[in-house]
C-alpha cells in the first residue's frame, strides 16, 4: 500500500500536465512575430509556455527562465492576451521528500515493537495449557466406530452417562470415578476409545499428551496443569484426556542420582488438582498408557485414577469385527473370508490388522487387480509376520541345501509333536533378516501356556540345528536366533514360572529396573549357590529337549529328506504338504520294514529295503 501511494505521488510530479503540440521556443517566437498566436500563458516558476493560435491550435513550449526583456516586449506587442502566471507550490508535494524517510523509520520501529510484543506474549503464555478442546459442535468418533471391546465400552459408557445424566447417580448416592486409566499394549485402540468418549459425552473434551507439559523452563509443567484444570472448571463439566501419561507419571525419586525434578513437580501438581483441597467436581480424568508398572502409586490410588480399564489384544470375535471396519469402503473378492483371516491373525492388535488390510490392498494394486483377494491378504500376512522377501539375495547351492534342511528340521518337529502349534508354511526364500522361515499359526488364542507346550516349542527351536548336525555332521551359525530364544524361554521356565523340580515353586525373575529407583548394586535377590542351581536347571532343560529333537528327527529322517528336497525344488511349501510328505515317509518306512522281514524269513529278496519302495508317490508341492 505504501509503495502504491509513493508511485502515485511520483507520477503526479513527473507527468506533464500540459496538453498540445510541443514546439521549440524559436518556433514559438516566430509564430508570435507572424501574429498567429491569439493568447498564451507563461509559467514564471517552470518557464513553460502554453499558447493558443488564431485557428484554435494548442501549442506547448519551454522558454528561458527568466524570460528576456526583448522577448517579453515582442510577446506583449503581438499577443495582447498573454499572461505571466506564478502558481503556488503544492505544500503536500513539497514535504513528500521529507516525510518519506521519516515514515519508513516510523514503520520500522512499529514493526520491531510488534515483534517484541509477540515474543513477550509467547514467553508470558508459556505456562498456558496446550490442550485441544473438542466441544459438542465438533462431533467425531463414536462407540459405533470402535469394533469389539464390549466390556471396555460398557465401563466407559458409565462415565459418559454420568456426565449426561448426573441426577441418576445422585439419587442413589453413587459417585463416578474421578479418573479412568486405559491400560493395554500399543495399537489396541486406547486413543480411539478416548476419541469415542469425546464424540459421545456431549461435554467439552480436553485432549493433551504427556509430553506437552514438559518444557525447558522450571515450573512450566505445573503451571500448564493448573491452567488445564482451571479451563476445565470454567466449562462446568468436562473430560480431560492425557495420552501417554507415563511420560509425566513415573515413580518419583527414580533413576540414577535422583529423579527428574521438573517431571516430579508436574506430577505433584496433577495429584493435587485431581484430589486436593480444591474440588474438581464434574471433571473426569482419562489417561492412556502401555506401561502401568512404572506409574507412581499415588497416581493410582482411589480418588485419582481409581478405575483401570484394560484394553487387551483383540480376541477372535473382536478381530473379525475390526477387520470388517477396515475392509469397509474397499473392494473385496468373494474368496476373502474374514473369519479365516481372523483365525490366522492371533496376537495382532487393531493397528496391526489395519496395516494388514492396507498391505493387502497395496498387493492388489501391484498385481493390477481391482479387488482384494484372499491371496493378497496371505501375502500381506507373510509380509507382516516374516518380513519383505529378498528374492534377489544370491545363495550358493551348499547354502541353499543347508537352509533347506534347517527349515525342514523345524517343520518336521512342528508337524509331529502333539502340542506344537500347527504348521502353516515353510520357505527358504530370505525374508527380512532371516534366510528361511518356518511359520506356525495357533488354531486358537492362548492365554496360559502349559509346560508340555513350552517344551515342544523348545524342540521345534532346536529342529534346525539338529537337522544340520544329522545330515552334514556339523553345525552352522544359522541357529543363533533359535538358541537365543530357546535360552530365554528356558530361563523363564526356571526363574519365573516354577517349572523346575529342583528349585521348586520359587520365582526369581523380578529384576528391578534401575530407572525405577532401585539400588543399582543389588542386581539379584538370591545367593551364588541358587544361581548355580538355576544355571544347571536351564542347561538340563535345553539338553533334554535337544536330545528329544535329535531322537524325533532320527525317527523321521526320511520325512526330513523329503521335506528338504521339496523346499529345494519349490522354495515354499505349505504345512499340509509337509504333513503329506511325512505320511509318505511313514508309509515307505512301513513297507521297507515288511520287505526286510520277508527277506529275513527267506520269503523275498533283499532288494527294495533301502530307498523308496515302488508305488510311493514323488513328493510335490
Q: Which of 154-158, 490-494, 564-568 has the lowest mean pLDDT?
A: 154-158
The pLDDT value given to residue 57: 82
- pLDDT band per the 50, 70, 90 thresholds, residue 83: confident
304-324 pLDDT, tens digit per residue, is 787 788 888 888 888 888 888
Q: Write phi, then psi, for 61 (nearest 5 degrees).
A: -150, 165
Is the same domain home to 370 and 412?
no
* CATH number of the structural domain spanning residue 351: 1.10.8.60
Taking the alpha carbons of 139, 162, 300, 276 in that order, is the dihedral positive or negative? Answer: positive
Rounded Cα–Cα distance for residues 456 and 444 (Å):
17
Q: Is the pLDDT of residue 602 over 80?
A: no
Instruction: Name the domain boundary from 386, 419, 438.
Output: 386
Cβ proximity of 612 and 588 under 8 Å: yes
What integer pLDDT is reported at residue 120 of this predicted model? 45
Give a yes or no: residue 373 inside a domain: yes
* pLDDT band (50, 70, 90) for residue 547: very high
What pLDDT sits at residue 255?
A: 54
Instruction: Tell me the pLDDT band of 518, cut-offs 50, 70 and 90.
Output: very low
If asked whether residues 276 and 290 sit together in one domain, one would say yes
pLDDT category at 607 given cuts 50, 70, 90 is: very low
pLDDT value, residue 127: 45
CATH number, domain with residue 31: 3.30.720.210
- pLDDT category at 377 given cuts 50, 70, 90 is confident
487 lies in the same domain as 528 = yes
Residue-wise burial string across 523-545, b where 16 or more C-beta atoms lie within 10 A, e elsewhere: eeeeeeeeeebbeebbeebbeeb
The predicted pLDDT at position 604 comes to 40
The per-residue pLDDT for 412 is: 92
**Mean pLDDT of the chain, nearest integer:** 76
Residue 268 lies in a domain: yes
Residue 83: phi and psi, rounded to 5, are -115, 150
Contact indicator for 577, 621 with CB cutoff of 8 Å: yes
Pairing of strands 437-440, 423-427: antiparallel
Residue 558 resides in a domain: yes
Does residue 481 surpass a pLDDT of 60?
yes
Q: What is the pLDDT of residue 289?
A: 85
Residue 489: pLDDT over 90:
yes
Predicted confidence at residue 510, as pLDDT, reads 52
Residue with more model confidence, 236 or 123: 236
Return the pLDDT at 181: 86
Residue 256: what pLDDT?
A: 45
Could you say which of 262, 407, 468, 577 is catalytic?
Answer: 407
Are residues 555 and 406 part of one domain?
A: yes
Q: Residue 619 — pLDDT band, cuts 50, 70, 90?
A: very low
Residue 296 lies in a domain: yes
Question: Residue 81: helix, strand or coil by DSSP?
Answer: strand
Q: What CA–CA distance (Å, rounded) separates 499 from 450?
A: 10
Is residue 102 assigned to a domain? Answer: no
> Do both 369 and 435 map to the same domain?
no
Name the more confident of 161 and 389.
161
Residues 301 and 325 placed together within one structural domain of the fold: no
State whether the Cα torsion 579-584-586-587 is positive or negative: positive
SS3 429: coil
- The percentage of residues in the chain with a pLDDT greater than 90, rounded to a whole number, is 10
Burial class, 370, CB count within 10 angstroms (exposed 0-12 / middle 13-18 / buried 19+) = exposed
Q: Which of 64-68, 216-220, 286-290 has the lowest mean pLDDT?
A: 216-220
**At CA 357, angle to CA 330 and CA 442, rounded to 5?**
135
Domain count across the chain:
4
Asked whether residue 127 is domain-assigned, the answer is no
Q: How confident is the model at residue 514 (pLDDT cuts 50, 70, 90)?
A: very low
Give the pLDDT confidence score for residue 466 in this predicted structure.
92
Q: Is the pLDDT of residue 578 over 60?
A: yes
Residue 412 and residue 367 share a domain: no
Give the largest Cα separation in the chain, rounded.
163
- The verdict on 159 and 213 lying in the same domain is yes
The model's pLDDT over 133-178, given as tens digits with 9 standing for 90+, comes to: 555 445 466 777 677 777 777 777 777 777 777 777 777 777 777 7
Taking residue 492's Cβ as centre, other Cβ atoms within 10 Å add up to 15
Query: Is residue 377 domain-shared with residue 471, that is, in the same domain?
Result: no
410-429 mean pLDDT: 88
- pLDDT tier at 287, thresholds 50, 70, 90: confident
Q: Is residue 553 part of a domain?
A: yes
Looking at residue 89, what is its pLDDT? Answer: 64
Higher pLDDT, 408 or 55: 408
Residue 252 shares a structural domain with residue 224: yes
Least confident of 31-35, 65-69, 440-444, 510-514: 510-514
**What confidence score (pLDDT) does residue 80 get?**
78
Position 442 in a domain: yes
One domain for residues 409 and 382: no
**468 catalytic, yes or no?**
no
- DSSP secondary structure code for residue 396 in this structure: -
Distance CA 270, CA 249 (A): 9
pLDDT at 183 over 90: no
The Cα 132–Cα 231 span in angstroms is 11
The most confident of 72-76, 346-350, 477-481, 591-595, by mean pLDDT: 477-481
pLDDT of 613: 32
Structural domain range at position 234: 132-310
Is the pTM higher than 0.85? The answer reads: no
Strongest mean pLDDT among 300-309, 470-479, 516-525:
470-479
Higher confidence at residue 541 or residue 158?
541
Q: What is the CATH number of the domain that holds 403?
A: 1.20.58.760
Higher per-residue pLDDT: 590 or 135:
590
Q: Supply the CATH number for residue 267's domain.
A: 3.40.50.300
How would you label 63-76 residue by residue, b for 16+ Cβ within 10 Å and e otherwise? beeebeeebeeebe
Cβ within 8 Å of residue 55, ≥6 positions away: none
| Domain stop point among 282, 310, 338 | 310
pLDDT in tens, 205-223: 777 776 656 554 445 667 7
Are residues 344 and 405 located together in one domain of the fold?
no
pLDDT digits (tens, 9 = 90+) for 12-65: 555 555 556 788 888 888 888 888 888 888 887 777 888 888 877 888 888 887
Give the residue from 386, 413, 447 where a domain finishes.
Answer: 386
Amino acid at each position: 500500500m505504501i509503495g502504491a501511494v509513493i508511485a502515485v505521488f511520483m507520477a503526479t510530479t513527473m507527468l506533464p500536465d500540459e496538453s498540445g503540440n510541443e514546439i521549440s521556443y524559436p518556433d514559438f517566437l516566430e509564430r508570435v512575430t507572424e501574429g498567429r498566436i491569439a493568447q498564451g500563458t507563461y509559467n514564471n516558476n517552470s518557464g513553460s509556455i502554453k499558447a493558443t493560435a488564431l485557428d484554435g491550435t494548442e501549442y506547448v513550449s519551454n522558454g528561458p527562465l527568466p524570460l528576456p526583456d526583448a522577448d517579453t516586449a515582442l510577446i506583449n506587442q503581438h499577443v495582447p492576451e498573454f499572461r505571466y502566471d506564478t502558481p503556488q507550490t503544492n505544500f503536500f508535494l513539497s514535504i513528500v521528500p521529507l516525510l518519506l524517510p521519516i515514515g519508513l523509520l516510523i514503520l520500522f520501529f512499529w514493526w520491531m515493537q510488534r515483534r517484541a510484543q509477540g515474543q513477550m506474549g509467547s514467553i508470558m503464555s508459556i505456562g498456558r495449557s496446550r490442550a485441544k478442546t473438542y466441544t459438542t459442535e465438533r462431533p467425531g468418533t463414536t462407540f459405533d466406530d470402535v469394533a469389539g471391546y464390549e466390556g471396555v465400552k460398557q465401563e466407559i459408557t458409565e462415565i459418559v452417562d454420568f456426565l449426561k445424566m448426573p441426577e441418576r447417580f445422585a439419587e442413589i448416592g453413587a459417585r463416578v470415578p474421578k479418573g479412568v486409566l486405559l491400560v493395554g499394549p500399543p495399537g489396541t485402540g486406547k486413543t480411539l476409545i478416548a476419541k469415542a468418549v469425546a464424540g459421545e459425552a456431549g461435554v467439552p473434551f480436553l485432549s493433551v499428551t504427556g509430553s506437552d507439559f514438559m518444557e525447558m523452563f522450571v515450573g512450566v509443567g505445573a503451571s500448564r496443569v493448573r491452567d488445564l484444570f482451571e479451563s476445565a472448571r470454567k466449562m462446568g463439566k468436562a473430560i480431560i484426556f492425557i495420552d501417554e501419561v507415563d511420560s509425566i507419571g513415573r515413580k518419583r525419586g527414580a533413576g540414577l542420582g535422583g529423579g527428574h525434578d521438573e517431571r516430579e513437580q508436574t506430577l505433584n501438581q496433577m495429584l493435587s488438582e485431581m484430589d486436593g483441597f480444591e474440588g474438581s467436581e464434574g471433571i473426569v480424568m482419562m489417561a492412556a498408557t502401555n506401561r502401568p508398572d512404572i506409574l507412581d502409586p499415588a497416581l493410582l490410588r482411589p480418588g485419582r485414577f481409581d478405575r483401570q480399564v484394560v484394553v487387551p489384544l483383540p480376541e477372535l470375535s473382536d478381530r473379525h469385527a475390526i477387520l470388517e471396519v477396515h475392509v469397509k469402503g474397499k473392494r473385496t473378492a468373494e474368496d476373502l473370508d474374514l473369519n479365516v483371516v481372523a483365525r490366522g491373525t492371533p496376537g495382532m492388535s487393531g493397528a496391526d490388522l489395519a496395516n494388514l488390510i492396507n498391505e493387502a490392498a497395496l498387493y492388489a494394486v501391484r498385481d493390477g487387480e481391482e479387488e482384494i483377494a484372499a491371496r493378497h491378504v496371505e501375502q500381506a500376512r507373510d509380509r507382516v509376520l516374516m518380513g519383505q522377501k529378498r528374492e534377489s539375495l544370491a545363495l550358493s547351492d551348499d547354502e541353499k541345501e543347508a537352509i533347506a534342511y534347517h527349515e525342514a528340521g523345524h517343520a518336521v518337529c512342528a508337524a509331529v509333536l502333539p502340542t506344537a502349534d500347527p504348521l502353516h508354511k515353510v520357505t527358504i526364500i530370505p525374508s527380512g533378516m532371516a534366510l528361511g522361515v518356518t511359520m506356525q499359526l495357533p488354531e486358537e488364542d492362548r492365554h496360559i501356556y502349559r509346560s508340555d507346550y513350552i517344551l515342544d516349542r523348545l524342540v521345534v527351536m532346536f529342529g534346525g540345528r539338529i537337522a544340520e548336525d544329522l545330515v552334514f555332521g556339523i553345525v552352522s551359525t544359522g541357529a543363533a536366533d533359535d538358541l537365543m530364544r530357546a535360552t530365554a524361554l528356558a530361563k523363564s521356565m526356571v526363574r519365573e514360572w516354577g517349572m523346575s523340580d529342583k528349585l521348586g515353586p520359587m520365582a526369581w525373575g523380578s529384576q528391578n529396573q534401575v530407572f525405577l529407583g532401585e539400588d543399582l548394586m543389588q542386581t539379584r535377590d538370591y545367593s551364588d549357590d541358587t544361581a548355580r542351581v538355576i544355571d544347571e536347571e536351564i542347561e538340563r532343560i535345553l539338553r533334554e529337549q535337544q536330545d528329544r529333537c535329535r531322537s524325533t528327527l532320527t525317527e523321521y529322517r526320511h520325512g526330513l529328506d523329503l521335506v528338504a528336497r521339496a523346499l529345494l525344488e519349490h522354495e515354499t511349501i505349505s504345512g499340509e504338504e509337509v504333513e503329506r510328505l511325512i505320511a509318505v515317509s511313514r508309509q515307505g518306512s512301513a513297507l521297507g520294514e515288511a520287505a526286510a522281514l520277508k527277506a529275513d524269513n527267506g520269503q523275498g529278496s533283499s532288494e527294495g529295503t533301502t530307498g523308496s519302495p515302488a508305488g510311493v508317490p514323488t513328493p510335490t508341492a
